[in-house]
Chains A and B, each alone.
Chain A
Amino acid sequence: DIVMTQSPDSLAVSLGERATINCKSSQSVLYYSTNKNFLAWYQQKPGQPPKMLFYWASTRKSGVPDRFSGSGSGTDFTLTISSLQAEDVAVYYCQQYYRTPVTFGGGTKVEIK
């Protein structure tokens, strides 16, 4: 199975500041023939199901604020919140779909400092 490792486990950021979440896969999730990274990002708020934010590593789902961005390729990926808002407090997960079983990272909890 492809193991997804996220870091840090949690971070506290001041309102308006940048939050950066890292995700590393145990093998590349880049499909060379299409140059697409088979990676998604999700946001989960307390008591709610995960909500998809990005697919193909950097394609933002319609309606997701543009302060969120996804980047990276191969085995190293980043989710960035450029200016943290109170409503962004949540746990964020990455997921690879390059190979079944699809697998998720352990999550990064984002809080307000």
Chain B
Amino acid sequence: QLQLQESGPGLVKPSETLSLTCTVSGDSLSSSSYYWGWIRQTPRKGLEWIGSIHSSGSTYYNPSLKSRLTISVDTSKNHFTLELTSVTAADTAVYYCAKDGLGGSGTTNWFDPWGQGTLVTVSS
């Protein structure tokens, strides 16, 4: 059964870098033709797609975050990571990782399944 698990610091200081890892079990990133994504959720802005990555390293980023964002994949560890630089309080959110719902499409589609999510608070 496919499972995704987010991990990383729950508290990040303003102006620093937020780093999260999504570990995948029950599927192999190296043999997958799917994209894998990050989505965040806040009470104010709701659900916001951050970006997605393919096992080949191909990425799609939300333009609103692109200048601060890096998503990478490590197929040997079967995980992918999110780095968001120069964070502010506006980046406080529950961060989810998820599998794209349509393999081989070459782009981002729906998300299924999702990890349980991890709350990241940006505060000094």
Query: Does B63 contact A101, Cβ atoms closer than 8 Å?
Result: yes
Binds B, one of A19-27, A79-87, A92-100: A92-100
CA distance A100 to B109 in the complex (A): 9
CA distance A105 to B98 in the complex (A): 18
Binds A, one of B15-23, B42-50, B78-86: B42-50
CA distance A103 to B111 in the complex (A): 12
Query: Does B112 contact A52, Cβ atoms closer than 8 Å?
Result: yes
**Contact of A40 with B101 at beta-carbon distance under 8 Å, contacts A49-B96, A93-B47, A101-B62 already known:** yes
> How many residues does chain A have at the interface if contact means C-beta atoms less than 8 Å apart?
20
Interface positions of A (Cβ within 8 A of B):
38, 40, 48-52, 55, 61, 93, 95, 97, 100-107
Chain A contact residues: helix, strand, loop or mixed: loop
CA distance A100 to B52 in the complex (A): 10
B34 part of interface (Cβ distance < 8 Å): no
B108 part of interface (Cβ distance < 8 Å): yes
- Return B4 CB to nearest CB of chain A, in Å: 9
By a CB distance below 8 angstroms, the chain B residues around A61 are 112
Query: Does B115 contact A100, Cβ atoms closer than 8 Å?
Result: no
Partner of B114, one of A50, A101, A104, A106: A50
**Contact of A97 with B108 at beta-carbon distance under 8 Å, contacts A102-B49, A107-B46 already known:** yes
Instruction: Return the chain B residue nearest A40 by Cβ.
Output: B110
By a CB distance below 8 angstroms, the chain A residues around B108 are 97, 100, 102
Query: Does B46 contact A52, Cβ atoms closer than 8 Å?
Result: no
Query: Which residues B72-124 have CB closer than 8 A to chain A?
Result: 96, 98, 101-102, 107-117
**Contact of A104 with B49 at beta-carbon distance under 8 Å, contacts A40-B101, A49-B115, A55-B101 already known:** yes
Query: Does A100 contact B107, Cβ atoms closer than 8 Å?
Result: yes
Instruction: Return the chain A residue nearest B111 by Cβ.
Output: A52
